[in-house]
Amino acid sequence: MSSGTPHAVHAHHPGFIGKYIFSTDHKVIGIQFLFSGLIFLFIGGALAMLVRIQLGWPGAQIPILSTLFPASWGQRMDPAFYNMLFSMHASVMIFFVIIPLLAGAFGNFLIPLMIGAKDMAFPKLNMCSYWFMWPAFIVILSSFFVEGGAGASGWTSYPTVASVTMPPYPGIDFATGAEENKSLPEKTKAALFKDSPAQPAGKGQILWLVSLIFVGVSSMMGSVNYITTIINMRAPGMTLFRMPLSIWAMFITAILQAMALPVLTVALFLQLLDKTFNTTFFLPPAGLDFGNQHTAVGGGQPLLWQHLFWFYSHPAVYIMILPAMGFVSDIIATFSRKPLFGYRPMVYSLAGIAGLGFIVWGHHMFQSGMDPRLGTGFMIATIMIALPSAVKVFNWLGTVWGANIQYTTPMLNALAFVSMFVIGGLSGIFMAATPVDIAIHDTYFIVAHLHYVLFMSSLFGIFGAIYFWYPKMFGKMMSEPWGKVHFALTFVFSNCTFYPMHIIGIGLQPRRYFDWSDFGFTRHLGPLNTFISISALLLGLTQLIFVANFLFSLVWGKKSGLNPWHSNSLEWSASSPAPHGNFPVVPIVDRGPYEYASPDVEEDYQPQARNAAALSGQPVPAAH
Please give the Cα distance from 228 to 231 (Å, whole number): 5
The one among 441, 451, 476, 486 contacting other proteins by CB under 8 A: 441
Q: Which stretch binds other proteins (CB under 8 A): 26-34, 120-128, 417-425, 581-589?
A: 417-425
Our CB check for other proteins shows the closer of 263 and 415 to be 415
Contact 485, 543 (CB under 8 A): no
Residue 599 engages other proteins in binding (rule: CB under 8 A): yes
397 binds other proteins (CB under 8 A): yes
Segment near other proteins (CB under 8 A), from 260-268, 323-331, 361-369, 615-623? 361-369
Q: Which of residues 83-102 bind other proteins (CB under 8 A)?
A: 83
Among 72, 262, 376, 621, binds other proteins (CB under 8 A): 376
CA atoms within 13 A on the CB side of 264: 30
Among 407, 551, 613, 624, binds other proteins (CB under 8 A): 407
Spell out, one character per residue from 32 to 71, where the chain touches other proteins: x when CB under 8 A holds, - when not: ----------------------------------------
Q: Does residue 355 interact with other proteins by CB under 8 A?
A: no
- Which residue among 175, 426, 489, 554 contacts other proteins (CB under 8 A)? 426
Which stretch in 232-240, 312-320, 463-471, 492-500 sits in contact with other proteins by CB under 8 A?
Answer: 492-500
At its nearest, how many Å lie between other proteins and the CB of residue 425?
A: 9
Among 60, 74, 406, 613, binds other proteins (CB under 8 A): 406
- What's the residue count for the chain? 624
CB of 387 to other proteins, least distance (A): 5
Nearest approach in angstroms of CB 323 to other proteins is 22
Say whether 540 sits in a helix, a strand or coil.
helix
Q: Report d(CA 122, CA 7) in Å as an integer.
A: 13
Under 8 Å between Cβ of 84 and 204? yes
User: Which residue among 419, 482, 540, 552 contacts other proteins (CB under 8 A)?
Assistant: 419
Please give the Cα distance from 567 to 600 (Å, whole number). 17
Q: Give the residue with the Cβ less far from other proteins, 506 or 614.
A: 506
Q: What is the DSSP string of 265-314?
A: HHHHHHHHHHHHS---TTS-TT--EETTEE-------HHHHHHHHHHHHH
Q: Which residues from 185-244 bind other proteins, rule CB under 8 A?
A: 197-199
- Gap between the Cα atoms of 472 and 106, Å rounded: 12
Q: Between residues 206 and 319, which has the closer beta carbon with respect to other proteins?
A: 206
- List CB contacts of 613: < 8 A, sequence separation 6 or more: 573
Q: Does 278 bind other proteins (CB under 8 A)?
A: no
Per-residue binding string, other proteins, 512-551, x by CB under 8 A, is xxxxx-xxxx--xx--x-----------------------
From the CB of 389, what's the least distance to other proteins, in Å?
9
Residues in a beta bridge with 294: 289
Q: Cα separation of 10 and 622, whole Å?
A: 10
Residue 465, phi-psi category: left (phi > 0), alpha (psi -120 to 50), beta (remainder): alpha
Q: Is 418 in the site for other proteins (CB under 8 A)?
A: yes
Determine the size of the site formed for other proteins (CB under 8 A). Answer: 116
Contact 368, 407 (CB under 8 A): no
Closest CA to 414 of 400, 401, 427, 428: 400
Contact yes or no for 162/201 (Cβ under 8 A): yes
Binding mask 293-322 for other proteins (x = CB under 8 A): -----x--xxx-------------------
Residues 135-174 that bind other proteins (CB under 8 A): 152-154, 156, 158-161, 164
d(CA 425, CA 91) in angstroms, rounded, equals 22
Q: Which residues contact 67 (CB under 8 A, 6 or more apart)?
A: 75
Interface residue with other proteins, options 205, 253, 434, 606 (CB under 8 A): 434
